[in-house]
Structure 1
Amino acid sequence: MVGLEVNGRPCRVTIDPRLSLLDLLRDRLGLTGAKKGCDHGQCGACTLLVDGRAVLGCLTLAARLDGARVTSIEGLAPDAEDGGALHPMQQAFIDHDAFQCGYCTPGQILSAVALIAAEPHPDDARIREHMSGNLCRCAAYPNIVAAVHAAADRMGGA
């Protein structure tokens, strides 16, 4: 049994000790925003926030997260589905056309949110370095850098 907070809601589930956080969210909790890309920790499509830090969901054992706060892309702006505002990073990705196919976008956004939380106003080189673990097959990288800068300004370093 593991107890954690997922997108602001308490969650207690009995799990196999080998279950990844990604599989827990997608298969057991129905949160399919994080994508299963390579399933080897090499593409970043499964990036999630655990206690505010970016982690690869496919490599993170859910059993090790008892008491942790997990945020998936669905929890970043929980009121958006009901007409509320998107998170500034989500809006910046839209405004700067920072995605094409969209498969990597949830992981890209959550990685960028973690970066701005740790480093409120990174330069281009730092953004590229931090985001290097998130692969985009469509090559939207210049737009992603622009979106991260714009969101950093909107977030005020929060």
Structure 2
Amino acid sequence: MTVHQRGYKQYGYTHDEAHLAPSQKAPVDWDPGQYIAEAASMHPDVEDYIRHVIEAKVHPEQACKSCRGILNFASRVGQKRLVNACRWASNHGLYNSPAIEEILKNRQDELPLEENENDNGQKRIPAHENIREKDYSGCCPG
């Protein structure tokens, strides 16, 4: 019989390292600096993205797999597309490998990146024909 410590953090991980399969354990050679250096050699935006991924993950094995997956995209789609995908994901606060994969799959990285904030730091509303300015007076005739 195995007894596990109860975790009270919602959606948190609890595990005993001894009960994990070898593929689930953190790699012995896990070095965040290695991934950051590899990302930095590609572009500062990729480096910044990888730093955020490492900070966002609770467990080292999660960060290792995400970083490896993200950096491997460069060999499949090229560094330029990876840089743009990292910019897109960062702009939307998405720091994980599936987000990068989805951006690349949908070719969003090839579209111009819209900034989400105006000069005052407020969220910008996208231009759309159904969104009217605050001084719009064409509503209903009196």
Normalising by structure 2, we get a TM-score of: 0.30
Tell me: higher relative CO, structure 1 or 2? Use CA pairs within 8 A at least 6 residues apart.
1
Q: Give the structure with the larger helix fraction.
A: 2
